[in-house]
Structure 1
Amino acid sequence: MFRCIPELANNAAGAQERGNLSDAQAFYLALHPARLVITGEPGAGKTLLAIHLLLALLSDRTRHRSDPVPVRFSLASWSPGLSLKAWLAEQVADRFATEGISRRRAVALVERRRILPVLDGLDEMDADDTPLARSRAYQVLEELNSYQDTGGSAPAVLTCRTDLYERLARRQVRVRDAARVRIEAVSAIEAVTYLTDRTAAPQRWQPVLRRLAGSEPAHLAAVLNTPWRLNLAATVYEQRDAELAYQRDPADLLAFTSAEEAGEHLLGLYLPAASALHPTAPDRYSVEAVRRWLGVLAQGLPKARTDLYLHELWQLMPRRVRIAELLLVLLWAALLRGWGQLAKPEASEVWTIYTVVLIVPFGLRAWTRRVVPRAAQIGRLGTLVGLRLIGRRIVGAGASGFLIGFLAAAALTLVSGVIDLVTLSLDVGKQLFLLVSCTLVFTGLSLPAGIIFGILSALTGPITREPTSTTPSDSGRLVWAEKWRRLTYGRSIGTIVEPRADPHHAIRHDLVVGFGLIPLMLLPGGLVLTQVVQISLDSWTLTFGDVAVFLVLGLLVGLYFLTGAGRRYLVFLLCARGQLPWRLGRFLRWAYGAGLLRVSGSAYQFRHRELQEWLGAHDPRNPDSTATAPASPGATS
């Protein structure tokens, strides 16, 4: 249930006094302009209401193709200094890059207001002690008020905690021309109903239920006034021991004298209770290990961040991971140099030069901050857009291969000519023959290499931060009809979103591409490298051993240079030994099954921001830092 809270001025017309989840779409569509601000207490269900509205708008059968497509954006990723339009375009281009949405197309979609931004988490943008004038939340509200269309203020949806929004509103900073609703707290009667229906033994809760149903429930009602806190309490007091006896008595809640103490108590017991209630593997990890590992993740997140992307976890210890990658580069270079020396000892100087030349870009790559995972896009073979893309890549890469081969031949001819000129033995005919011969050799190798590279690069693509599983991935340029989308991309909204609601998607596919498809690109590259080295040694003959050596070297180059995200994740796991489990992905899946984490698109998040803050505030290395205990704990069977 939510209630409309009129502001002193600049309210959207058509707002009803009250509403609930089932009629959220009707409430929103009646607004003019279509601007809605959803506020509520932590755990009240602000994001849930926004997602429900988003899905209702998408599934509306009366929806016109000219209506804007609602897309959920996490404001925690907003970059200061960017205008709202520029940030939205950047987000759309990043999310839908693999579906054919270019940066230019994304800008056009935003400029034409074909995107309905559902901006989630205004309160998650800044630390609590950030002055309002320097806060990102203030900048977003200013940008949102200048976000206009031809009819005035452009449609938008925003979620924010009540206390922050009211604090801003008292300074006359709010979303203008909008309807603001506040999700009402769970009443004592609703809490009684929930706990009675949720638990298998309602009689255990009678002391709590009587207090809630009384005339003055006081702090107990304040503790159990949101869906999150109710679920927290029910989970904690439903834990049983090996003999199926309940381990805790709900009456313990009556011993606390403040809502803060009771909340701390529940959060401290949530991890062991949720772990014990895991549906398939309750005993896989000890409570101490779970608390320590989740604490490391919570403390490593910046205060305004909630998303745990596997390919970005290395930023928890960036310096250590980069140094480890540089050491890996040196090890790789030593192996490359040693392999070449053993295979062709007469080319010692040449190997030294090529090793040094390769170390520089590899070392720079090891120090880069942004590493984008890649995925195979084999489905493009059966789509019109995919075939057009493959054709363009073949032409472009083939032309590039020919040009590279010709330039390499010209450069080699020029160097040879300069040497002959210095030694006074210049022979124009010889240089012309060298140019033609090198061009034929180099282009004969680099042209097919470029074509293969073009095909394989078209069948792989970057994976960016995906929308959540409830965010529309309209691959038909976001607004085309479903039939054309199926013909063009071979997919629909329902078939493209579900496989991507997996946080392990990015790392898994990056490793598959790196160790599977991409090395194939380097096999032709190895042939080119073979011929370059042979010519450097004034040798035009190739043996089977030479080709084998350089094919292996091509594979080594590909496996390192083209597996950035997956390789960095593995290096991070090595660097995090002792702080996080080696099989981190398995643990995160387990924590999701236990209800400690949730999945938002391709990221994990803590089940609730309050849980993340609690874990971050407690030292994960101190197992004795436990929840506040009631005065006289008890247990019932």
Structure 2
Amino acid sequence: MDRMNEGPVDPAGVTAALVGIEVYADGAEYSELPGPARDALRFAEWLRACGVPAENITLLLSPTPDFAEEAVTRAAALGIPVTPASADLVRKTFIELDRTRELLFTYWGGHGVIAPSTMSRHLLLAESIERDPQSMLFDDLRRHLLCEDEEHLGLTRQIFIVDTCGWYLKRREREPVPRRFPQGDLSDKEIDQYFLFASRDGQGAINDAGLGTTEFARQVLGYLHSDLRVLPPDVEELTRRVDRYFSDPARATDVTQTPVSIRHRSYAGSERDLGSARLRERRVLPVAPAHLHDALGRLHQRSTRHVGRFALSKSGIGAHAGLHAINVGYETLDVSAGVPKRAVYATVRHFYDAIPNGRLVVRGAAGSGKTVLAVHLATELLESRAKDEPVPVLLTLVNWRTPPPESRPDGSQAGYDRLVRHFEGWLADQLLKQKLCDDAETARALVDGRWILPVLDGLDEVRIPQEANADGPFGYLVAAIDRYLTAGSGRPAPVVVTVRSTGDDDTRPGPSSACVVEMQRLSVPEIVGALTDGVPGYPTDGHWEDLRADLRLGEASTAARRLDSPWKLVLAVKAVTGPDPQIPVTELVHALVRTGDGADEALHERLLAAFVPAACTDAVVAEPRPPDAPTAVRWLAELARHLGRHASEDLTLSRMWVIAGERRVRAVQAVAHVGIVLFFCVACLLAAVGGPGHALTTAGHLTDGTADLSGATGRRLWAAAAFTAVVTAAAAATGIAHRTWVPVVNRRTRGLRERFEGPKRSRLLLSILSGLEIGGAIGSAFGLGTYLLFGPVAGLVVGGVIGVVLGYGMEAKVGLDRTLSGNFSPAYYWKWDGLGLLAGAATGTLVFWLVDYPPWSGTAFGGAVGFFAAFAIGLISWLRYVIAMTMMKRRDLLPWKVAAFLDWGHRAGVLRVHGVSWQFRHAELQHWLAAQERPPRSRRPSSGRWLRLLERVVPKVE
């Protein structure tokens, strides 16, 4: 039941608390605010005109000196004494409210802030100073007025007019200290609370010091005076009246203010945000169907880890925390999505919740914080996701595949349907590649049902062929996203896209139904705060005086323009901090304030060149470390060029071998395969002629021509020759093949010795099984070959020693991982090894019976060969990686332990993690590195002789 509309209240049953604070104890931090005390008096005059007794009205004022005397005179004319708006008296007023009355009317005018840590609105008290900001916590007051009062039912209707700003505290500001109210059990009585705030979260309220009032108070009082006799006023009509005024496009100014009304009915917490008429309420959607519950739960968990790894690394600021915490502002560019133009919200989650259907495009200059904002939004959405909401999934658009000709739109609806299916297929494929889903069917069901919220990073990085550009600046991708948003199961399809600014405000950089926001430049105070936090001694060191003086010029500052984004600040701070600064302070300061043609470009080039060397000397970064800065730059430049050649942003271990040259590596691997196989096949040929264990005698007979090759021996020799031909051809084919026929990647390699999740006992069991598989396969192969050559004793000794040493060494020490992803699963490989053993045993039994060998020996021989063959197929990608890394190490292109180097880059802030891959954290740094000239190739004559011999069989392929 809505008690606010039950009917009029006897004016004698009204109690009012009117607070107007214009002067604060700290005049520098909280400046005088002419208007609130004057407006409080105007509300008192309206209440008296409505017949409310003077003794029912408490007037708490902290007026400016020029208004103090007038305030007392005007209040006396109303019969109301002026009470100082001190913290104690304000608190006492609300605690001692007369609960026998029915209606509470409250007005509060003054300064207000929102603490981002709790998202709570604080009303600043007159005693507030910078080092001790005193406040009234609004939610604390509201809840106090909902608590039980055993003696009285009263104050069942409560109206709050809150005329304060809703600015968020800046990063370096202290959070207010609230004066708390006593709390008890919430009343089970029907209590109707109505709040009308002057501004939304993150916005200011327009105060006119000259007229001594605010825009908000003028509109509220204007409505109240239009019907003097109504108590309580029609709050629904009041909301509409105020909303119409502030949402009217005709009055658009540079300052946006969006009043907010909230209703709380009873302690059960019923609440609705009326807000601006332009902001439609988000629909409550049904929960996912039962068959998708588990899949959504797994997707939520994996996406949380995926987003966390993407964001988790240093920002490149050395030992000084702070720069990564800069809360870069943004503002809306259009009203087409229902959000007022130039609306400002400091927390992206609150802003996103106000966007119809959750479609957002974030644009800005390079390094302005677009990706950070998107990742922060995804993190907050994951932390508070309800069952009826889609799961945010972070994807990079550089991996977008241009649709084939048959999937490109031809102007018909069927053509656009094909384009949507292509985009949906790409999304499902990304869910699988990032191991966010276990199977293609589940991934497709989540995409089709719009149960994912794609957070698509880097629309400007998409590489689209020229012939695909006919549909706009971003080709078919933008058209695909647009159609994806309107097609599907009927659920709203949310999306978040980041894109670099084009410099043309009229160009929509994304879906037409999305709200577009622009990242803002850092203000001078934010730059000064970041330098103070990030550079020891900045406020007092004389070397920084020229920069401090330049920044004091405000918007006219040359340095402020050169440090107006988080990336620029990171570059500058990184260059002069740490144990070995790359640029002297005096040189940086001179470059920041110097004017002239080319000064900006020269400074930026100098800072980019200093970034990686500074990361190499960062004392915070743990081992492993690159040997020196020039080497780290050279290795990173090679990786950047590799990405440029392959139109990708992902550095994935399973594909990194192509840097050494695809044909060269495959040819070397084929030669290595054939060499190993021929050794074993020679043993088979000798054993076929002279029997196992007589290799030296048989070789002598073959040399002098006395060997008997007739009858059963001849058949055995032909069988061994056929076996040699087949196995040698298979070895060459698997070595030279483009694909490796094994799972590519399940997750990123990190800590190969800690590959298994779960309890320690479970990990130990898996490690033992892995060691048995590795040792058993390699030991049986070498043992069998030695047995064929030198007999059973030598075979047992060699097979046992090699099996134990390699089984333990490759598993516990090297961490053999045949898919180079940290996902070695003994169960998976034991399955294929078992199938290989059975197939080999069956084949061996039959062949040995045909050539007059005991069938059981064929079973043992074939089983051992099949077991090792299945194991070796899984080893192909690992061996290819080792060959490539060895070749690149010899040519000084990359380190042999490249995974360790990539992990160093992640911790140093140069790289970030995206699913199973690494990516450059800053696109500009990546492009700068790729543009560096490759140094002359260095040769090391004493190393890799066997590899150089193998490389000669293939022409050079760079």
Q: In the alignment, what sits opposite 2:870?
A: 558
Rounded to whole Å, the distance in 2 between the matches of 1:128 and 1:196 is 46
Q: In the alignment, what sits opposite 2:589?
A: 251
Deviation per CA, 1:2-61: give whole Å up to 9, x if none.
Answer: 433334x7x22246744456x21221122113210011111111111111111211221x
Rounded to whole Å, the distance in 1 between the matches of 2:728 and 2:470 is 47
1:485-496 to structure 2, matched below 5 A, reads: none
- 1:522, CA displacement in angstroms? 3.8
**Structure 1 letter corresponding to 2:498:** T
| Kept in 1: contact 2:544–2:585 (CA 8 A) | no
Q: In the alignment, what sits opposite 1:48?
A: 372
Q: In the alignment, what sits opposite 2:575?
A: 236
1:266-281 to structure 2, matched below 5 A, reads: 266-279=607-620, 280-281=622-623
- Name which structure has the greater RCO, CA cutoff 8 Å, separation 6+: 1
Distance 1:193-1:505 versus aligned 2 partners, 3 A rule:
farther
Rounded to whole Å, the distance in 2 between the matches of 1:151 and 1:378 is 39
| Kept in 1: contact 2:745–2:916 (CA 8 A) | no
Match of 2:401 among 61, 69, 79: 79
Match of 2:643 among 301, 311, 314: 301
Distance 1:37-1:277 versus aligned 2 partners, 3 A rule:
same
Q: Answer yes or no: is 1:59 the counterpart of 2:383.
A: yes
Q: In the alignment, what sits opposite 2:529?
A: 193
SS at match of 2:654: helix
| Kept in 2: contact 1:2–1:18 (CA 8 A) | no
SS at match of 1:158: strand
| Kept in 1: contact 2:644–2:930 (CA 8 A) | no
Rounded to whole Å, the distance in 1 between the matches of 2:871 and 2:683 is 16
- 1:613, CA displacement in angstroms? 0.8
Match of 1:348 among 717, 721, 741: 717
Q: In the alignment, what sits opposite 2:653?
A: 310
Q: In the alignment, what sits opposite 1:606?
A: 920
Distance 1:618-1:222 versus aligned 2 partners, 3 A rule:
farther
Q: In the alignment, what sits opposite 2:549?
A: 210
Q: In the alignment, what sits opposite 1:507?
A: 820
| Kept in 2: contact 1:511–1:563 (CA 8 A) | no
Q: In the alignment, what sits opposite 1:31?
A: 355
Deviation per CA, 1:290-330: give whole Å up to 9, x if none.
Answer: 11111111111126422211111123222222222222332
| Kept in 2: contact 1:35–1:179 (CA 8 A) | yes
Q: In the alignment, what sits opposite 1:114?
A: 451
**Structure 1 letter corresponding to 2:618:** L
Rounded to whole Å, the distance in 2 between the matches of 1:109 and 1:337 is 52
Q: In the alignment, what sits opposite 2:931?
A: 617
Q: In the alignment, what sits opposite 1:491?
A: none
Q: In the alignment, what sits opposite 1:13?
A: 338
Deviation per CA, 1:97-156: give whole Å up to 9, x if none.
Answer: 7x54x3223222211111111111111112899995488932111111111246597211
SS at match of 1:293: helix
Distance 1:283-1:46 versus aligned 2 partners, 3 A rule:
closer
Match of 2:390 among 68, 76, 81: 68
Distance 1:109-1:377 versus aligned 2 partners, 3 A rule:
farther
- 1:271, CA displacement in angstroms? 1.9
SS at match of 1:302: helix
Structure 1 vs Structure 2 CA RMSD? 3.7
**If the length of structure 1 is used for normalisation, what is the TM-score?**
0.68
| Kept in 2: contact 1:120–1:160 (CA 8 A) | yes
**Structure 2 letter corresponding to 1:507:** L
| Kept in 1: contact 2:576–2:583 (CA 8 A) | no
Q: In the alignment, what sits opposite 1:372?
A: 743
- 1:585, CA displacement in angstroms? 2.1
Higher helix share goes to which structure? 1
- 1:343, CA displacement in angstroms? 3.8
Q: In the alignment, what sits opposite 2:482?
A: 145
Q: In the alignment, what sits opposite 2:288?
A: none
Distance 1:161-1:144 versus aligned 2 partners, 3 A rule:
same
- 1:247, CA displacement in angstroms? 7.8
Rounded to whole Å, the distance in 2 between the matches of 1:13 and 1:268 is 44
- 1:620, CA displacement in angstroms? 3.5
Distance 1:571-1:284 versus aligned 2 partners, 3 A rule:
closer
- 1:186, CA displacement in angstroms? 1.4
Unaligned segments of structure 1, at least 5 residues? 383-503, 624-637
Distance 1:302-1:352 versus aligned 2 partners, 3 A rule:
farther
Rounded to whole Å, the distance in 2 between the matches of 1:267 and 1:294 is 13
Rounded to whole Å, the distance in 1 between the matches of 2:441 and 2:725 is 39
Rounded to whole Å, the distance in 2 between the matches of 1:512 and 1:108 is 27
> What is the count of residue pairs matched by the alignment?
489
Q: Answer yes or no: is 1:4 the counterpart of 2:328.
A: no
Rounded to whole Å, the distance in 2 between the matches of 1:64 and 1:505 is 39
Rounded to whole Å, the distance in 1 between the matches of 2:626 and 2:468 is 44
| Kept in 1: contact 2:654–2:745 (CA 8 A) | no
Rounded to whole Å, the distance in 2 between the matches of 1:152 and 1:551 is 56
**Structure 1 letter corresponding to 2:629:** V
Rounded to whole Å, the distance in 1 between the matches of 2:356 and 2:931 is 43
SS at match of 1:507: coil
Rounded to whole Å, the distance in 2 between the matches of 1:218 and 1:259 is 14
Distance 1:207-1:525 versus aligned 2 partners, 3 A rule:
farther
| Kept in 1: contact 2:361–2:499 (CA 8 A) | yes
Rounded to whole Å, the distance in 1 between the matches of 2:377 and 2:818 is 27
Rounded to whole Å, the distance in 1 between the matches of 2:717 and 2:586 is 73
**If the length of structure 2 is used for normalisation, what is the TM-score?**
0.46
SS at match of 1:250: helix
Rounded to whole Å, the distance in 2 between the matches of 1:245 and 1:229 is 15
Distance 1:150-1:525 versus aligned 2 partners, 3 A rule:
closer
| Kept in 1: contact 2:352–2:358 (CA 8 A) | yes
SS at match of 1:189: helix
Deviation per CA, 1:527-557: give whole Å up to 9, x if none.
Answer: 33431331342444324xx565445423431
- 1:227, CA displacement in angstroms? 1.0
Deviation per CA, 1:505-537: give whole Å up to 9, x if none.
Answer: 951536675998465654444433431331342
Q: Which moved more, 1:349-358 or 1:138-147?
A: 349-358
Rounded to whole Å, the distance in 2 between the matches of 1:594 and 1:32 is 39
- 1:570, CA displacement in angstroms? 1.3
Match of 1:175 among 511, 515, 521: 511
- 1:93, CA displacement in angstroms? 3.5
| Kept in 2: contact 1:522–1:557 (CA 8 A) | yes
| Kept in 2: contact 1:42–1:610 (CA 8 A) | yes
Rounded to whole Å, the distance in 2 between the matches of 1:283 and 1:115 is 38
- 1:336, CA displacement in angstroms? 3.6
Distance 1:613-1:217 versus aligned 2 partners, 3 A rule:
farther
Instruction: Mark the structure with the bigger radius of gyration.
Output: 2
Rounded to whole Å, the distance in 1 between the matches of 2:818 and 2:523 is 41
